[in-house]
């Protein structure tokens, strides 16, 4: 089965993505052919979710490499690097973007003696491999995550870490979707996730489509559903995991973790080891993307929602302190505190 969110087109001249900004109203596929179209698709969140961004970048740089008109290897490498830097600058927080582009660059560098045509073929193979690994990663994370849950659990999730953000079940939504296939009866609460509403538009859409019992709540309602005793576990995805277990994920995640600690509810982060950045010692080293304030004031409303002149602060991510995290579930195993040790061990597997 081919993933539905990011692929190559038939004649390998474009990256085809599901435009996530149009969900839940329309399922529209876009063909990305130029570097600008690829950059914009990532920046504008047409393709989003850390693993999906990485896969899109890998296919994108392959298409761009195919079109490089170079006389020799050095010229090819220099244009390849320009494309890489450009795509890499589209969003700063999800490490999967640079991780995938680095992997692609390694193919070019380690095959220096080969013809450019051969290198381009190897680039295609590497991009496909990144996507195939992602499918396998989803399967493993879903199974491991499911092993931590009970059949009738109430689950709260924030943002969207489902099939659209990956190549199969997703990460945070993985155990839920796998559980659904196995006859579990989870009751899921999806935070709407302001300002761009990934929870409302994407998570509730994906879970509803799979017939999961999902209830959409506004972000400021997480506390009451926990207090009501409806939540047995929180499952969230991640964009970058620092070496000490601090985790960057969609803005609002750290608030959910603080609430979960207060109500004594396990808080699980689910993500592939490609999201682990051992180069970041703590969450303070993670660059948080700051986005246009109009996303808060106007993006999803016909009329402006706030005075035009009002100041805004619109960070797209926040960092959850490792002390609030019960476990980090990766495709290579479940890491528990102390994370410095468990993450180091898993990074060497
Ligand atoms: O700004 P977004 O929508 O790209 O943010 C996405 C998230 O925060 C996800 O939880 C994360 O990328 C994991 S997706 C498997």
The residue to mutate among 19, 42, 195, 250, having the most atoms of ligand 1 within 8 angstroms of its beta carbon, is 250
Whether 240 shows a pLDDT value over 70: the answer reads: yes
Domain 6-138 has CATH 1.10.3210.10: no
Q: pLDDT tens across 121-131, in order?
A: 999 999 999 99
Task: For 220-314, list the strands marked E by DSSP.
Answer: 233-236, 240-242, 247-250, 267-270, 276-277
d(CA 225, CA 228): 5
The pLDDT value given to residue 2: 73
| Whether 292 contacts 316, CB under 8 Å | no
pLDDT tier at 300 (50, 70, 90 boundaries)?
confident
The complex scores an ipTM of: 0.99
Whether 312 shows a pLDDT value over 90: the answer reads: no
d(CA 15, CA 163): 18
CB of residue 199 inside a 6 A radius of ligand 1: no
Q: pLDDT tens across 218-239, in order?
A: 999 999 999 999 999 999 999 9
Whether 1 shows a pLDDT value over 70: the answer reads: no
CB of residue 166 inside a 6 A radius of ligand 1: yes
Q: Looking at the CA of residue 236, tell me the nearest atom of ligand 1.
A: 10
The pLDDT value given to residue 305: 82
Nearest CA to ligand 1 atom 8: 250
CB of residue 253 inside a 6 A radius of ligand 1: no
Domain positions in the chain are: 6-138, 142-347
The mean pLDDT value for 30-36 works out to 98
Query: Is position 239 annotated as part of the catalytic site?
Result: yes
CB of residue 250 inside a 6 A radius of ligand 1: yes
Q: pLDDT tens across 241-253, in order?
A: 999 999 999 999 9
The pLDDT value given to residue 67: 97
The pLDDT value given to residue 302: 73
Q: What is the pTM of this model?
A: 0.96
CB of residue 161 inside a 6 A radius of ligand 1: yes
Task: For the chain, list the strands marked E by DSSP.
Answer: 6-8, 15-18, 29-32, 154-157, 187-191, 213-217, 233-236, 240-242, 247-250, 267-270, 276-277, 317-320, 327-330, 333-335
* Pairing mode of beta strands 233-236, 154-157: parallel
Active-site residue, from 134, 153, 191, 239: 239
Architecture of domain 142-347: 3-Layer(aba) Sandwich (3.40)
């Amino acid at each position: 089965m081919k993933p539905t969110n990011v692929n190559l087109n038939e004649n390998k001249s474009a990256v085809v993505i599901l435009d996530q900004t149009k969900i839940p109203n329309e399922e529209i596929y876009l063909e990305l052919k130029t570097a600008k179209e690829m950059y914009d698709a990532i920046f504008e969140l047409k393709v989003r979710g850390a693993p999906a961004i990485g896969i899109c970048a890998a296919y994108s740089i392959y298409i761009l490499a195919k079109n490089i008109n170079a006389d020799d290897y050095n010229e090819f490498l220099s244009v390849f690097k320009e494309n890489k830097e450009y795509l890499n600058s589209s969003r700063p927080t999800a490490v999967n973007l640079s991780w995938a582009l680095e992997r692609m660059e390694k193919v070019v560098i380690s095959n220096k003696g080969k013809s450019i045509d051969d290198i381009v073929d190897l680039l295609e193979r590497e991009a496909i491999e990144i996507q195939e690994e992602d499918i396998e990663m989803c399967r493993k994370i879903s199974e491991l995550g499911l092993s931590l849950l009970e059949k009738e659990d109430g689950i709260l999730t924030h943002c969207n870490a489902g099939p659209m953000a990956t190549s199969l079940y997703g990460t945070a939504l993985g155990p839920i979707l796998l559980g659904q296939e196995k006859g579990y009866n989870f009751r899921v609460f999806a935070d709407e996730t302001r300002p761009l509403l990934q929870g409302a538009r994407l998570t509730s859409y994906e879970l509803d489509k799979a017939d999961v019992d999902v209830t959409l709540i506004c972000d400021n309602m997480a506390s009451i559903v926990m207090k009501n005793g409806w939540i047995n576990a929180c499952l969230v995805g991640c964009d970058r995991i620092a070496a000490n277990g601090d985790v960057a994920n969609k803005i609002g995640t750290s608030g959910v973790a603080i609430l979960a600690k207060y109500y004594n509810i396990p808080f699980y982060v689910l993500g592939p080891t490609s999201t682990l950045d051992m180069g970041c010692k703590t969450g303070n080293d993670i660059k948080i993307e700051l986005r246009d304030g109009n996303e808060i004031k106007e993006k999803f409303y016909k009329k402006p929602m706030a005075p035009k002149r009002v100041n805004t602060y619109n960070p797209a991510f926040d960092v959850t302190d490792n002390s609030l995290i019960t476990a980090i579930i990766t495709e290579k195993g479940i890491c528990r505190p102390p994370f410095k040790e468990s993450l180091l061990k898993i990074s060497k597997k």
